[in-house]
Amino acid sequence: MTRFDPVEVHAAWLPAEAFRAIGSRRVLLCGEGQLVETVAHEIEQACARYGGSWRQREPDEGGTDLGPGSDGDGSYELILGLTSAGSLPSAADAVVERGALGEEGFALARRDGLTAVVADEPAGLLYGLFHVVRLGEAAFAHSRPVELHRPAARLRMLDHWDNVDAHPVMGQVERGYSGGSIFWDDGVLRADFGRVRAYGRLLAACGINRVTVNNVNVHSTEAHLLTDRLGDVIAIADALRPYGIRVHLSVNFASPIALGDLPTADPLDPHVRSWWAETTRQVYESIPDFGGYVVKADSEGQPGPFAYGRTHAEGANLLADALAPFGGIVHWRAFVYNHRQDWRDRATDRARAAYDHFAPLDGQFRTNAILQVKYGPIDFQTREPVSPVIAAMPSTRLAVEFQVTQEYTGQQRHVCYLGPLWSEVLGFRPWGAEGSTVAQIAVASGGGLVAVSNVGDDPFWTGHPLAQANLYAFGRLAWDPQLDPIAVLDEWIDLTFQPFAGEGTGGAKLRGTLHAMMDESWRVYEQYTAPLGVGFMVRPGQHYGPDVDGYEYTPWGTYHFADRDGVGVDRTRASGTGFTGQYPQPWSDVYESVEQCPDELLLFFHHVAYNHVLRSGSTVIQHIYDTHFAGAQRAAEMRQAWEEIEPGGLVTPALYARVRDRLEEQVRSAQEWRDQINAYFLRKSGIGDAHQRRIY
């Protein structure tokens, strides 16, 4: 696809039909600014399609009551207005103090037949518009008291792991499962940015406001995006700006050497400091709303401050200082560990690494430096405990990092709706029931949420069409971490499929099928893959499919230590690596105790015998067999459910076929996982299945 064709590219959660409720009404828009123009354009398109009418009030017009039956411009049914745009219609007045909605918030109300959306700033109006889209006819069905909508976190960011040059091993998009990059194609910025604009629109509609355009592993070509290839970044920023999205750039810590011809990248060297200051100044000259930098330093081969005997705070502050005059931010990743570990060495524990490196630095980071912490201590596994770093740095701004791209969760060949995983993490309370949640910690610190994007130039954006739901859900949970992930999924179904349902009953059936397939899909994936939180039983390198011992004797620090007697990693203080001690109470003791530790994390924290009895009452070995048979069975049931859907109407034949093909692979892969894991543990333990099912 060389030119973006909105017919060939799936509309995701913004099909034209989703705008029917707005487009068939009389709409007034009050306000000015680039994002208001975006709103105007959306309304104009919708009304043109569905026969409604709209008007944008000129700045110098006085405010009048423009409710139903009023004179003047006639009776409006929907008004969207900035609080700065003069007096607003009755439904919207006295909603809130001007300024209370913030940069991105909005208020919604309906009274006397008029639905009103009010915002202090244009971005809020844009988010308000998409909220009305989400509501559809419900926005006009009955009176609504004033509702305030403000994002929990100011920073709601997607990181792209896109390369400019297709990397010989990692490809155009590292860990991308959706085709090529929407930004670059084999070294060249795409000429057609229609796709980028469409992407920005989708992100605005779910609440994302920051995008990092390139891979955190910054290779040589990509390093130049900071300087002589800044034009690429300018172009992307221009395309995303109308959707309230600011761009960030992943930079290489050694840039002063590679790009600036300096002999060092030492963060305390004055020449290095002025190089970054001047380079950053030039970036802002071209992109005044540039978001800032993302850095993966001293991690998996990337350069960093350790080479100069400096701390990561000194490294991060170098960039923070360069960005500060322009309001920019540096996201500094906490993913630092020894990836050349000796598997023979059981004292070193990769799970400890981020805490050991960063907790001592609490309070040393600048206020415009954000420590970006993966949600678990290892690496985006299907099941990990929440990273102890999150509770360990009260004086540091923290962003929690998720992975929308399904690197370890089925690579968009498996249905795996991740909303419930993220929701569980966001709602985790490191200090127990009375303490803050992870989401509250991140928000209160002034950080936010970050995730690795899952889109590419695939016609369905995400390879697996149902993986769109993950992208949507991340945006919505970043906006409001308390949302029920199943309700968010329902929103996504509504927007994506329901506009096509019309008055028929097919919609209800499809909704039921999708919920049946997706609600539990993360736990199903967990069932047929690595058991009880032990993690990493994937094929090395590609991270897809089972290979129980694949990482067992490697330098990557990810081991399960299965022998003929038992399995799991002893991370206790009493006899193991002491990782449990990185948690505050009560978790420090809960995880330490083999009796209290939650079943789903047992093998993450403990090495136990195969006949150890879980809290569930099952033994470890029988649990392994049972969950693997059940998980593969449930994958087969997903396929069965999908086969009962009729293609056409709500589900286009192309989308139907794509999902069907991926389900074939999921069923095959789930059986492979089942058989390999079960065979591995039967051969090792010698303990048969209590139900005598076939194990090879």
Catalogue the active-site residues. 300, 379, 407
Residue 669 CB, shortest distance to a copy of itself, in Å, is: 13
Cα separation, 377 vs 533, in Å, equals: 12
Name the CA radius of gyration of the chain, rounded. Answer: 26
CB of 520 to a copy of itself, least distance (A): 27
> What is residue 188's three-state secondary structure?
strand
Q: Which stretch binds a copy of itself (CB under 8 A): 58-66, 194-202, 373-381, 675-683?
A: 675-683
Looking at the Cβ atoms of 52 and 535, the one nearer to a copy of itself is 535
Q: Which of 563, 589, 646, 664 binds a copy of itself (CB under 8 A)?
A: 563
Joined together, the tokens standing for residue 667 give 């069923």
- Shortest spacing between CB 625 and a copy of itself, in angstroms: 16
Q: Provide the terminal-to-terminal Cα distance of the chain, rounded to the nearest Å.
A: 45
The DSSP code for 538 is B
Q: Which of 335, 438, 427, 331 is nearest to 392 (CA)?
A: 438
Assess 21 for contact with a copy of itself (CB under 8 A). no
What's the rounded Cα separation, in Å, for the pair 40 and 555? 55
Does residue 167 touch a copy of itself according to CB under 8 A? Answer: no
Q: Kindly indicate which of the ranges 280-288, 372-380, 543-551, 638-646 contains the residues binding a copy of itself, using the contact rule CB under 8 A.
A: 543-551
* Cβ neighbours, 10 Å, residue 643: 11
347 touches a copy of itself by CB under 8 A: no
- Residue closer to a copy of itself by CB (options 8, 549) is 549
679 phi, psi to nearest 5 deg: -65, -45
Residue 162 identity (one-letter amino acid): D
What is the Cα–Cα distance from 79 to 106, expressed in whole angstroms? Answer: 13
Q: Considering the complex, what minimum distance in angstroms separates the CB of residue 680 from a copy of itself?
A: 8
Q: How far is the CB of 357 from a copy of itself (least distance, A)?
A: 26
Contact (Cβ atoms closer than 8 angstroms) between residue 92 and residue 109: yes
Query: Which is closer to a copy of itself, CB of 335 or CB of 673?
Result: 673
Q: Any contact of residue 564 with a copy of itself (CB under 8 A)? A: yes
Instruction: Please identify, among the stretches 140-148, 472-480, 509-517, 678-686, the one whose residues bind a copy of itself according to the rule CB under 8 A.
Output: 678-686
In whole angstroms, give the CA distance from residue 109 to residue 609: 59
Report the residue number, 278 or 565, with the smaller CB distance to a copy of itself.
565
- Contact letters for a copy of itself, residues 25-64 (x by CB under 8 A): ----------------------------------------
Q: Which residue in 5, 565, 589, 661 binds a copy of itself (CB under 8 A)?
A: 565
> Does residue number 453 form part of the binding site for a copy of itself (CB under 8 A)?
no
**Nearer to a copy of itself among residue 271 and residue 346 (C-beta):** 346
- A 10 A CB-CB count for 656 gives 18
Q: Which helix (H) or strand (E) holds 29?
A: strand 26-30
Angle at 394 between CA 391 and CA 397, to 5 degrees: 100
Q: Which stretch binds a copy of itself (CB under 8 A): 138-146, 198-206, 324-332, 561-569?
A: 561-569
Q: By C-alpha distance, which of 590, 586, 589 is closest to 598?
A: 590
State which of residues 683, 688, 690, 693 lies at the interface with a copy of itself (CB under 8 A): 683
Kindly tell me which residue out of 484, 549, 661, 664 binds a copy of itself, with binding defined by CB under 8 A: 549
Closest CA to 336 of 320, 352, 325: 352
By CB under 8 A, tell whether 679 contacts a copy of itself: yes
Interhelix angle 485-496/122-135, nearest 10 degrees: 80
Among 546, 568, 576, 631, binds a copy of itself (CB under 8 A): 546
The H-or-E segment that residue 678 falls in is helix 653-685
- 429 forms part of the interface with a copy of itself (CB under 8 A): no
Contact call for residue 168 and a copy of itself (CB under 8 A): yes
Q: Shortest approach of a copy of itself to residue 559 CB, angstroms?
A: 11
Smaller CB separation from a copy of itself, 524 or 567: 567
- Name residue, tokens 């059936």: 509
Tokens representing 572?
Answer: 């206790």
Closest CB to a copy of itself among residues 173, 548: 548
Residue from 203, 548, 603, 655 binding a copy of itself (CB under 8 A) = 548
Report which secondary-structure segment, H or E, holds 159: strand 155-159
Antiparallel, parallel or unpaired: β 106-111 and 114-119? antiparallel
> CA nearest 229: which of 173, 285, 283, 192?
283
484 binds a copy of itself (CB under 8 A): no
**Closer Cβ to a copy of itself, 412 or 685, answer by number:** 685
Q: Is 186 in the site for a copy of itself (CB under 8 A)?
A: no
Stretch that binds a copy of itself, among 232-240, 371-379, 409-417, 679-687 (CB under 8 A): 679-687
How near is the Cβ of 637 to a copy of itself at its closest, in Å?
22
Nearest residue (CB) to a copy of itself, 302 versus 678: 678
Tokens (6 digits) for 374: 């993966």
Q: What are phi and psi of 403, to 5 degrees?
A: -130, 100
CA atoms of 681 and 693, how far apart (whole Å):
14
In the bound complex, what is the minimum distance in angstroms from residue 696's beta carbon to a copy of itself? 4
Residue reference for tokens 């960093």: 304
C-beta of 691 vs 696, nearer to a copy of itself:
696
| Residue 587: Cβ within 10 Å count | 22
Nearer to a copy of itself, 587 or 680 (CB): 680
- Sheet strands (E) in 318-368: 329-333
Stretch that binds a copy of itself, among 353-361, 365-373, 578-586, 684-692 (CB under 8 A): 684-692
CB of 169 to a copy of itself, least distance (A): 10
Closest to a copy of itself by CB, 360 vs 540, is 540
In angstroms, the CA 303 to CA 417 distance is 35
Q: Which stretch binds a copy of itself (CB under 8 A): 146-154, 632-640, 660-668, 676-684?
A: 676-684
**Which helix H or strand E contains 605, and what residues bound it?**
helix 602-605
Segment lying near a copy of itself (by CB under 8 A), choices 30-38, 70-78, 468-476, 544-552: 544-552
Report which of 100, 78, 99 is spatially closest to residue 89, judged by C-alpha positions: 78
Site residues (CB under 8 A) for a copy of itself, limited to 655-674:
672
Asked if 675 is part of the footprint of a copy of itself (rule: CB under 8 A), the reply reads yes
The amino acid at 152: A
- Are 526 and 383 in contact, with CB atoms under 8 Å apart? yes
Among 261, 553, 653, 691, binds a copy of itself (CB under 8 A): 553
Q: How many residues bind a copy of itself (CB under 8 A)?
A: 24
- Asked whether 407 and 463 are in contact (CB, 8 A), the reply is no
Minimal CA–CA distance to 543: which of 365, 657, 403? 403
How far is residue 162's CA from residue 175's CA, in Å, rounded to a whole number?
Answer: 9
Interface map 284-323 toward a copy of itself (x if CB under 8 A): ----------------------------------------
Residue 212 in contact with residue 247, Cβ under 8 Å? yes
- Three-state DSSP at 446 gives coil
Residue 573 makes contact with a copy of itself by CB under 8 A:
no
Nearest distance, CB of residue 555 and a copy of itself, angstroms: 10
Task: Report the 10 Å Cβ neighbour count for 564.
Answer: 9
Residue 5 as a binder of a copy of itself (CB under 8 A): the answer is: no
List residues near a copy of itself by CB under 8 A: 168, 343-344, 546-550, 553, 562-565, 672, 675-676, 679-680, 682-686, 696
